[in-house]
Every structure is written in structure tokens, then in C-alpha cells.
Amino acid sequence: MKFDPVKWNRNAALMYAVGVWTTIGYAYYKYTIGDIKVEKKVVEEENNPNVKTHETKRIQTTIIYKEDSVPHTTMLSNFYKSTYGSYPESQKQDEDK
């Protein structure tokens, strides 16, 4: 039996195509048409400015900020000023107040 490279290439390409299209079809079915049941939980919130809710098609994220929190930029600024001092212009403004 002789090896026929044209026939072998055709069969390999056909098998590759069937595998790829099967995978793409399954992914399309799974994520768009499939039985993905999402249970939505109703979260009763007060009108609290420290609670922010971001909702997308598949994920709901709730961010709760502490009431007495200091932003990181302010903490870094205070650390820098305490370590290295501040500019002379800002010291003059502080003295004028």
C-alpha cells in the first residue's frame, strides 16, 4: 500500500475542520443559547453613598467603602510631606491661614 500525501492532507484538514467547528459551535451554544440559569438576588440597600453596585450581564459586584476611610492618594501625600517636608510656597500659604 502506497502513501498518498494528497489524500492524507485532505483527511487531516477535514478532521481539523470538524474539530474546530465543533468547538466553536459548542462555545456559541454554551454561552449564548445554552441552559445558563442566573439567579438574581435582590439586594435591599439604603441610599448609602458608601455602597456602590456594578452589574453586568453575568456578574454583580458590590463595593462597600468604609465611612471614615482616607483615600490612598491622601495617605501617600501625607507620608511624603511628613518624610521630606513640603514646598516653601505651601508653607507660606499655611502660615497665612
pLDDT, one tens digit per residue, over 41-68 is 655 566 777 777 888 878 888 887 777 7
Q: What is the pLDDT of residue 36?
A: 58
Q: Residue 85 phi/psi, 5° resolution?
A: 80, 180
Q: What is the pLDDT of residue 67?
A: 76
Q: What pTM was estimated for this model as a whole?
A: 0.33
| Spans in the chain with pLDDT lower than 70 | 34-46, 86-97
Q: What is the pLDDT of residue 46?
A: 63
